[in-house]
Chain A
Amino acid sequence: MPIELDPQFLNTAITSPRWSVIARTGLGVDDFATWDPKIIRKPRLIVPIDVQALYVEEGSTEAFVRLPGAISTPDGDPPEPSPAPLAPGASRPSGVHLHWAMPDAVMNGEMQDVEGDGLGLAPLPNRWLVMRLLAPEGAERMAVTGWVIEADTTRVIALKDWKEDTPEGSAPTGKTLKGRDLNAGAGGSLAWTASYDATLNRFAFHDPLTDIAEVASQGVFSDVATYLIAGWWSRAAEDPLDAARTASGFASVTEELGWRVNADTSGQTAVTEQAMLYQAELATFGVESASRFALIDTGSLASSTALSGAQGAEVFLPEGGRFVAVEPKHIYSTLLNGIVHGVPVAGRVPADQRPDPRRVRAALGPQVEDSIAALTAAAMEGDDLDARAETERLIAALTNDQVAKLGERNGAVEIEEREHAARFEAERGRDYSIEKIIDRGGPENLIAGRAARNRAGTTERQQTERTLATDLTWSATKPGVVGVVPEHLGFTSNYFEREGRPQAEPKVRSVRRPGPRYFRALEPVVAIRDAKRSRRHQEDGVASPDGTLTCRWPSQIPIVIPGGISGRQHLEPFPHGALPDEVVRLAQNAVITDPFTTPWLAQQAAPTSPFPQSVLAARLRGEVALRYSRDGVYDGTVPGFTVQAKRGEASVPGPMEAALGDQLRRHSLLDGVDAAPLGVTVWAQPWSPIWLEWEVELDLTDRLTGWALGQVDYDATPPPGGATRVMSGRSPINNGAAESLTATVTNWMIAEDLRDAEDEGQLDEDGEKEVRAVYKHLTNADVISATLSGVHEALLGLPEAPDGQVEAPDEKIAPTDLPQLLFSGRMRVRAARLVDAFGRVLDLEPGKVVHPAALIAPGAGLELPPRLTRPARIAFRLADPADGAALPREATINQERPDLMVNPVAGFLLPDLIDEALEVFDVAGNPLGQLQHEPIGGGVVWEIAPGREGPADAGPLYDLPPSAQPLGRFAAAMIEADARTRGGTALSAKRETALSAFLRAVDTTLWSIDTFASLGTPHIAGLVGRPMAVVRATIRMQIYDDLDLLDLSAPGARAARKAVYDDLADRAFRARLGEFTRDDDGVYGYFINDDYRRFHVVDKIVKTRALESGRRRGHFAALGGARIPQPDPIDHPYLVGEDEFPIHLGEVIRLTILMHPAGKVHLTSGILPRKSLQLARDWVDAGLGRMAPSARIGPVLIDPDKVRLPKIASFGEDQIWTRRDTPFLWKDDPILAATQAAILPDAPAAIEEGYVRIATAPIPGTEGEGS
């Protein structure tokens, strides 16, 4: 029906200024009504976000778990409590429940200083537009219903009423969070933004759909709607793009945010300019828009002050300064946008993404990699436990980058060590020590050539050397703030050019070495496979090959399909005066790209199009086909050319698919850039699991009874249990571990292919096949994991952490119970379910939960070897041998003042297995004496070193400095142990001495240590023997108690809790020093608490598998005899066969360790990760360098005139022949090298016995004869 207008009125209207403005601005009356001058109207970058819509049909009884969090009640109200884990849940009101994910770029933080800013999280966008578009049957335009959400106040305002600071709108439903308070951590957990209930009316919205009949009286086309979400920051300073000020700055900021912007510089500039002109034009009508910067009148500045720009930017101006105010040209801002098409508005739920619970598998392990390995191995190998164990080991090797070592001895041990160590987390202790290191600089400090000659001859120049003299002046009053004296600068640069870089003198650095770390056992982890993980969070860039998120400029958003289809034409106008302009374009784009309403659009467009409806419909269908997969997922690929992805999942197009897609996309008529897959969702009932709710049964004991210290950890078959208790909790889910494991395997395979090309592969074909199988399983599996956090807190008697609540900082927690500090036993999952963002659940079958093959406890549980619930450490420290205190001083390194250094090495022992003797040297390498066998009785005796001053019968402790006391006591105790065993009688043929037993133990250990002398030593002692360092160390096990961390103000609470800690001291933990299975371990044995009468061998096997050896026995007889030495177990009581020792909390154990100077000492305790120590070169080098065995020779014929003997090649030029002249004195004679020259002296030779030694001082009269 034609509209009848009053011509008079029309005439008046169209000549009024108001009409003129409306006509010239293109804005509607509503726009003027809601016009917000504070909105920045320069084009914004459109950043996609993920939007999901849960449709709850009328009368639905599906139960949802409500997880409201800390801030979902209005200000002043207490937080709504979260339901208990596994609680049944409640139904939701019908309608559409929307939830959108925050972009990754604003969810990341970095841990700041403890006293600082926490994570330094970015503010989240606080303004959101929710717009519902639906196609009413029979209408020409899509109906628009909109709401604006103030995320900071949780108010919802109908779009028509929306204006910044409007009093309209609903009452707040949550706490007010202004500015930076609205961030990723505001909800009491970093996962709060992922939950619908916690973010309702901030990043979530419920549309009850009650107005559908009103909006579309004839019904809705297909009964579906499109929801468009757009978000922005009301304060521009909080916009992440605010940091960019130049085009290059924009590039670096977007790169940091992980955003990629399609280059359209010219187009963008044009649009910006156009927009600016438009804004300027509007301004002439008094319709103003905000600008980020405002010019400030300088006259208003009384003094230096911090100015707040109109939009919050702050600048400092120098007092009284003259400046030119210029409006920045390059400013950028952001508009977040996501869209979901095809959300049902009536009827039943047609499609659901939640997976079939029967397909879901889970594993429980001590830490995440163990669990994923167990899950993968179980999927690959089924019930074959041995095969599963093998596969788990292979995965462990892959994760630890130890594949190359799989076949090696140390590799196998290392994998186990690392697997064990990965079950702990470390925490630095507060103690530290200072080491003084001389830094001689790198090769760049070596000057040569002309520079060196100059330096050598120019002392004078050095004396007149001038320092860099530059005056830097900071002035608050002068405009020129930095003043530099140019002459000085010129001089210095010339000086350096001429002289080259000045030689750096060695510098002494003080290095602060932290004390030993505390370790806390990790809590068990459940890994779940095929539970259809969500890629909403931290995977924004998943659809692009380089992992970035593709963003668009508004000009790149198509709103027209040539041929008569226009988004502008078929969208109902809506007031947008208080909205960023881009939302209009986005909505228009939604109209022409909605795949669900194409028939409707074709029908509506046909009347004004030159083409018939059928052609338009075909074109629209074609455009849809170019963009949506065969499953109806908008994933940026072209159907038919991609591997079919699992339903509802985005698939990442490969290069080939992308290229094909590009070629086909040429046939699209849409002029612009398509949205990134993240920003467009085709509706199906969503499933994005974010929590695991669990209930476990623990069968624990706090005793070590029944457990035995195995190779790396405690073992028990079956694990002993005690009291059973049930715990439950709710843990966030993450994808990271599985992703990184897959990435590790992928990287390994790529590297292996490269190595194979060079024929240097780490694995053979079979091995590689195994890895490929693992890779296939890992990549095909969709694995998520969740830590069962709270188990340790519960054992410590702490109250359950308020789930999702904001904890008051610095507030001490009051324990509810006494702690169980030590636990071991088994654990079983009784129930578990996944909970998604909307509170939907998926139950897991506890009976199907698998465990790592090595930790399967009887009764399908997980074996829990003994662990401490509080952080603990074993302070294994090298100590001063001269300090006899209960806790001796720790060893230090001081290269600046070596005399102040505390050297843990007491001295060295050089075993002579061929002659069955043991030579003893002090730490400087001077010989002290030798333990050997007395020739008649066969007992062990001490002989003072040749050339050392002292009587012939001097005992081992004769004239020893304090640092060498352990050596003397060791030697004396061995003689004593030998004499006691012999009972004062001569040695019988069947028995051996303590020395022989000791040497055989050393010899047997040498089969495992440094088999091919590969640890190496550049010194003589290492060439002719295997010197052992005698090292002092202490072990102290400590637990980090929580007495000062908790609120123990209740009467008796502190005493009771302390008593539990004290009680733990009576547990005898086991420890083992040295590791026979590692060839880099250098321990031969040790003495505990200065008891030198009992020598502890490194492994039991040393005693039982000792090999036959001795003076001219076994392999020390002539060669060509016995091929393999026969075992001859050692039964001498001097050697202790038990290779473990008990260790109690707080107790200091003093150790004297005999070790290879270049080897390591491993300390295995099971309860904590294995630890190793090594000697510093500063401690042993000097001694080893000086140390030389004295070769006992004789009887030999000696020319009484001149001592001619074959010289020992490795002893150097100056050698002496030392023998006892009298019982108190030694006689030294220089040795002349005996040669083949037929020198026939006249005097007859004499028979002598003595030692060939290295002359420490020049020998007089050695000139003349020589070689």
Chain B
Amino acid sequence: MAKATLTAEVVMNEAVAAIDGVLAATDVDDFTDDDKITPREVRQFLARLRLLEGVPFSNIVADSALLPIESIRFFYVDRGWTDALTQGALSVGTVNTGDRAQLDRLYGAIEDEIDSEERLVRLPGGEERQAGRAGLMTGFLLRSRAVSGWPGLHVRAYAREPDGNDEEILPESHPDRLKLLRLERLAPAVMLALFDGMPEVVHIEEPKRGLQFGVSLTETASNTYSASIPARNVQTANYVDENGAEVETMAEAKRLPVRFRPGSPGVLDLANTGRAFLDDDSLGMGSTLDGAEFALQMIRFPYRQVFGDPQVTSDFDIAAVFRPTLSKEVGALTTDFERVFDAD
């Protein structure tokens, strides 16, 4: 009679059957107390990888011509590409089909856990946690002096134009406001932003570091500028137009000229500028000008660049804006090829 109790066949069957075993939890979610099968560090690492952290810049922008100076490039993130990236990271140490089968068994659960972890990587105070499967991820790369000159630019993305008004700021909790998954300066002048969804409008705003005076410059001749500010009624602080009527936006406001000291370019001539304010009746000033009234006129709020304002229409094909070009001309390429072949 057969004596062996454990044959190779049994071992093989058991090894294969073991793949379908129960998944063991290794961690617990701090907020929800849900079991997590992926260890916390691995989960966090993979979520950051999904947000392209650690991905060499040359793998995102293969050639500098793709991101010229003073340009912004909006993009979608290919989830297939990031999935491959995380799978690659997970495949370390999985050498044979046995390892891979075990990983495969885990992969669905790992994917779900990274989905939720992805939104926790950047979680500024007061912002609520968001859940659900990861969806479309978009973003932009901005290469500009604005990035280096104004560290701490504000970036806001909206799924819909807020109330049709570029000056509106919706709170983080607003459903139209897209969660910012990542915002990072990759170089002094290069900024990367990633959004949790597809924005209609993106606001990029100067940092609100404090109150400042400022003027608008208009080039009147070569290297010659005239300065002006929008007019306000100092009684109501609202902008006023040419007719003295109060208006909603700065764009509609009347321009008040600002004077510079003669012979000293860049130095404001406060006395004459103040006097010009007093002379203007539509500003609601009295007979004298005090410091507060002067300041009210001179205060400049942070500048905000709005991308994708649906009210702005263009006469060109937006899709044609991005057109890849090769830095070498075809003729030069031909020469190069010939040189290589000659060498062989």
Asked if A1109 meets B57 with Cβ closer than 8 Å, knowing A416-B5, A1011-B15, A1244-B327, the reply is: no
B146 in contact (CB, < 8 A): no
Asked if A1197 meets B111 with Cβ closer than 8 Å, knowing A913-B95, A1008-B11, A1115-B101, the reply is: no
Q: Are A711 and B7 in contact (CB under 8 A)?
A: yes
Q: Which of A202-210, A897-905, A1212-1220, A1232-1240 contacts B (4 or more CB under 8 A)?
A: A1232-1240
Q: Are B3 and A1124 in contact (CB under 8 A)?
A: no
How far, in whole Å, are A1077 and B54 apart by their CA atoms in the complex? 43
A612 in contact (CB, < 8 A): no
Q: Are A1114 and B97 in contact (CB under 8 A)?
A: yes
Q: Are A1023 and B5 in contact (CB under 8 A)?
A: no
Q: Are B101 and A1123 in contact (CB under 8 A)?
A: yes
Chain B residues contacting A1077 (CB-CB under 8 Å) are 6-8, 10-11
B1 in contact (CB, < 8 A): yes
A1245 in contact (CB, < 8 A): yes
How far, in whole Å, are A1236 and B16 apart by their CA atoms in the complex? 41
Chain A residues contacting B95 (CB-CB under 8 Å) are 911, 913, 1006, 1024-1026
* Interface residue from A409, A856, A1026, A1197 paired with B96 (Cβ < 8 Å): A1026
How far, in whole Å, are A1199 and B62 apart by their CA atoms in the complex? 10
Q: How far is the CB of B84 from chain A (nearest CB, A)?
A: 7
Q: Are A412 and B6 in contact (CB under 8 A)?
A: yes
Contact string against A for B residues 94-117, beta-carbon threshold 8 Å, 1 for contact and 0 otherwise: 011111110111011001000000
Tell me the nearest residue of chain B to A1242, going by C-beta. B64
Of residues 1 to 45 in B, which have CB atoms within 8 Å of A's CB atoms? Answer: 1-12, 14-16, 19-20
How far, in whole Å, are A1121 and B11 apart by their CA atoms in the complex? 24
Q: How far is the CB of A605 from chain B (nearest CB, A)?
A: 71
How far, in whole Å, are A733 and B9 apart by their CA atoms in the complex? 43
Chain A residues contacting B67 (CB-CB under 8 Å) are 1240
A1191 in contact (CB, < 8 A): no
B92 in contact (CB, < 8 A): yes
Q: How far is the CB of B146 from chain A (nearest CB, A)?
A: 15
Chain A residues contacting B58 (CB-CB under 8 Å) are 1197, 1199, 1204, 1234, 1239, 1245
B55 in contact (CB, < 8 A): yes
A1118 in contact (CB, < 8 A): yes
How far, in whole Å, are A416 and B5 apart by their CA atoms in the complex? 9
Q: Are B93 and A856 in contact (CB under 8 A)?
A: no
Q: Are B97 and A1125 in contact (CB under 8 A)?
A: yes
Chain A residues contacting B143 (CB-CB under 8 Å) are 1238, 1240
B90 in contact (CB, < 8 A): yes
Asked if A416 meets B4 with Cβ closer than 8 Å, knowing A1024-B93, A1234-B56, A1244-B327, the reply is: yes
Q: Are B1 and A1115 in contact (CB under 8 A)?
A: no
* Interface residue from B3, B59, B64 paired with A1234 (Cβ < 8 Å): B59
A413 in contact (CB, < 8 A): yes
B280 in contact (CB, < 8 A): no
Chain A residues contacting B157 (CB-CB under 8 Å) are none
Q: How far is the CB of B140 from chain A (nearest CB, A)?
A: 13
B53 in contact (CB, < 8 A): yes
A655 in contact (CB, < 8 A): no
Asked if A416 meets B55 with Cβ closer than 8 Å, knowing A1026-B95, A1100-B8, A1120-B108, the reply is: no
Interface size class of A (residues with CB under 8 A): 35 or more
A874 in contact (CB, < 8 A): no
Q: Are A1008 and B328 in contact (CB under 8 A)?
A: no
Q: Are A1239 and B12 in contact (CB under 8 A)?
A: no
Q: Are A1013 and B97 in contact (CB under 8 A)?
A: no
Tell me the nearest residue of chain B to A1120, going by C-beta. B107
Q: How far is the CB of B250 from chain A (nearest CB, A)?
A: 34
How far, in whole Å, are A76 and B87 apart by their CA atoms in the complex? 94
B234 in contact (CB, < 8 A): no
A749 in contact (CB, < 8 A): no
Contact string against B for A residues 706-726, beta-carbon threshold 8 Å, 1 for contact and 0 otherwise: 000011110101000000000
Q: Are B187 and A1238 in contact (CB under 8 A)?
A: yes
How far, in whole Å, are A833 and B52 apart by their CA atoms in the complex? 86
Asked if A393 meets B5 with Cβ closer than 8 Å, knowing A1008-B12, A1115-B104, the reply is: yes
Chain B residues contacting A1118 (CB-CB under 8 Å) are 83-84, 87
Contact string against B for A residues 1220-1250, beta-carbon threshold 8 Å, 1 for contact and 0 otherwise: 0000000000000011111111101100000
Chain B residues contacting A854 (CB-CB under 8 Å) are 1, 3
A1007 in contact (CB, < 8 A): yes
Q: How far is the CB of A1081 from chain B (nearest CB, A)?
A: 11
Tell me the nearest residue of chain A to B18, going by C-beta. A1011
Chain B CB within 10 Å, residue with most, of A393, A713, A1237? A1237
Q: Are A1244 and B54 in contact (CB under 8 A)?
A: no
B186 in contact (CB, < 8 A): yes
Q: Are B96 and A913 in contact (CB under 8 A)?
A: yes
B240 in contact (CB, < 8 A): no
Q: How far is the CB of B137 from chain A (nearest CB, A)?
A: 17
Of residues 408 to 437 in A, which have CB atoms within 8 Å of B's CB atoms? Answer: 409, 412-413, 416
Contact string against B for A residues 174-200, beta-carbon threshold 8 Å, 1 for contact and 0 otherwise: 000000000000000000000000000
Contact string against B for A residues 1239-1263, beta-carbon threshold 8 Å, 1 for contact and 0 otherwise: 1111011000000000000000000
B61 in contact (CB, < 8 A): yes
B70 in contact (CB, < 8 A): no
Q: How far is the CB of B143 from chain A (nearest CB, A)?
A: 8
Q: Are B56 and A1206 in contact (CB under 8 A)?
A: yes
Chain A residues contacting B91 (CB-CB under 8 Å) are 914
Q: How far is the CB of A1098 from chain B (nearest CB, A)?
A: 9
Tell me the nearest residue of chain A to B59, going by C-beta. A1234
How far, in whole Å, are A998 and B91 apart by their CA atoms in the complex? 22
Chain B residues contacting A913 (CB-CB under 8 Å) are 95-97
How far, in whole Å, are A1116 and B54 apart by their CA atoms in the complex? 25
Chain A CB within 10 Å, residue with most, of B59, B100, B101, B105? B100
Q: Are B12 and A1101 in contact (CB under 8 A)?
A: yes
A676 in contact (CB, < 8 A): no
A275 in contact (CB, < 8 A): no
Chain B CB within 10 Å, residue with most, of A715, A1077, A1204? A1077
Chain B residues contacting A1116 (CB-CB under 8 Å) are 97, 100
A889 in contact (CB, < 8 A): no
Q: How far is the CB of B100 from chain A (nearest CB, A)?
A: 4
Chain A residues contacting B6 (CB-CB under 8 Å) are 409, 412-413, 416, 711, 1077
Q: Are A1115 and B100 in contact (CB under 8 A)?
A: yes
Tell me the nearest residue of chain B to A385, going by C-beta. B1
How far, in whole Å, are A765 and B301 apart by their CA atoms in the complex? 78
A1119 in contact (CB, < 8 A): yes
Q: Are B96 and A1007 in contact (CB under 8 A)?
A: yes
Q: Are A412 and B5 in contact (CB under 8 A)?
A: yes
A1099 in contact (CB, < 8 A): yes
How far, in whole Å, are A1008 and B14 apart by their CA atoms in the complex? 10
Q: Are A1008 and B187 in contact (CB under 8 A)?
A: no
B190 in contact (CB, < 8 A): yes
Chain A residues contacting B328 (CB-CB under 8 Å) are 1244
How far, in whole Å, are A853 and B9 apart by their CA atoms in the complex? 23
Chain A residues contacting B87 (CB-CB under 8 Å) are 1118-1119
B63 in contact (CB, < 8 A): yes
List 8 extra interface pairs beyond A715-B2, A1023-B92, A1105-B9, CB under 8 A: A412-B5, A715-B3, A1003-B96, A1115-B100, A1124-B101, A1125-B101, A1197-B62, A1238-B186
Residues of A at the B interface (CB closer than 8 Å) are: 385, 393, 409, 412-413, 416, 710-713, 715, 717, 853-854, 856, 911, 913-914, 1002-1004, 1006-1008, 1011, 1013, 1023-1026, 1076-1077, 1099-1101, 1105, 1107, 1109, 1114-1116, 1118-1125, 1197, 1199, 1204-1206, 1234-1242, 1244-1245
Residues of B at the A interface (CB closer than 8 Å) are: 1-12, 14-16, 19-20, 52-59, 61-65, 67, 83-84, 87, 90-93, 95-101, 103-105, 107-108, 111, 143, 186-187, 190, 326-328
Can you list 26 pairs linking A and B with CB atoms under 8 Å apart?
Answer: A416-B5, A710-B2, A715-B2, A856-B1, A1004-B97, A1007-B15, A1007-B97, A1007-B98, A1008-B8, A1076-B12, A1077-B7, A1077-B8, A1101-B9, A1109-B97, A1116-B97, A1119-B100, A1120-B108, A1124-B16, A1199-B58, A1236-B54, A1236-B55, A1236-B57, A1237-B186, A1238-B57, A1240-B57, A1244-B326
